[in-house]
Amino acid sequence: MTNPTTLSRTTGDARLAFLRRIPLFTEFQDNDFLELERLAHQGTITRGGFAYVPGDPSDQVYFLRSGRVKVARTAAGGKEWILHLVEPCENFGELALAGEDSRRNSAEALEDVAYVSIRREPFLALAGRRPTVALRMLRLVGERRRLMEARVEGVLFAGVRERLLELLLDMGRRYGVAGPEGLALRVQLSQKEIAHLIGSTRETTSSTLNQLRRDGLILIQRRRLVIRNLERIEQILKGVPQPAAPAPASSTRRAQDAPLRSRYQIA
C-alpha cells in the first residue's frame, strides 16, 4: 500500500518539475518555485469537459500540463468563434490577472487534460516580487489581443481562402509532423472547428478545403489533414505566381524560420 506522505511528496515533485518548465517563470529562484508549488492546485478534465464557461468567476490562471484546450467565445445565437488553442506549458484564463471578474469565454478540453491553476491574489502577490513575470504576462495579453484584432481585420477584408491558407500555414509550422505525404497535423480539428477559427461557415470552409485538395496543397482523410506543400501556401499568400513547371515537393520542411507571420497564429 502506498504511503500517503510518499504519494504527496511525489505529486509535489512532479508539480514543481512542471512549473520549472514554464517559460513565464524562467527567472524564478528556488524559493519562488517552492512558494509557487505551494500555491498551485492540480486538476484534470476529460475530453469535452470545461475548465470554465461564461459567467464563472474569473479568479485563477491555468497552466496546461498535458492535452489541448480550446478557448472560445459563443454568440447568443450559438455561433462559436475559437480564440486560440492552448498547448502544454502554455497558460489560459490569464484575463483573471487583468481585472476580469467573470468569464466571457469558455475553455474546453479537446483531449483529456491535466492542468495546474493558481488563484489570482496570491499569484499577483508573488509576481509583484518578480517584475519580469508581470511584464511577460502583459506582453502575452497584448500579443493575443493583437492577433485577435488582426483576425477581425481578416474577417472584414480578406476572403475565406486567404484566411484558411494563413491558418494552414500556422498549423503546419506548429503542429506539422514530416511524413511521406507531407506535414501531417498532430492536432485534429473538425471542419466546423476550422470554420470557427477563421470566422466562416462550415459549408464555405468545406468547399474551400476541397478546392485546396484539388489544387494539390492538402490531403484530407476524415479528421486527418496533411499539408502537402507548405512552401507553396506561403508563396500564394505572398502573391508569388505559380511556377510554369512543378517544383519538387518540399512540404516536409517545418518552416519555423519563414518570415511570413499569420494573423491566425494559434496562441
C-alpha cell at 185: 497535423
pTM of the model: 0.70
Q: Let me know if 208 is exposed, middle or buried by CB neighbors in 10 A (0-12, 13-18, 19+).
A: buried
Alpha-carbon gap, residue 217 to 209, rounded angstroms = 9
Per-residue pLDDT at 262: 55
Per-residue pLDDT at 10: 55
Q: What is the mean pLDDT of each run of 10 residues along the chain (267 residues)?
A: 48 77 81 86 94 95 93 81 86 88 94 93 83 77 71 67 86 84 83 83 89 89 82 83 56 44 51
Per-residue pLDDT at 87: 87
Per-residue pLDDT at 255: 41
- Tens of pLDDT along 174-205? 888 888 888 888 877 888 888 888 888 889 99
E runs forming strands in the chain: 41-45, 50-52, 60-66, 69-74, 80-86, 91-92, 106-109, 113-119, 176-179, 182-185, 218-221, 224-227
Per-residue pLDDT at 63: 94
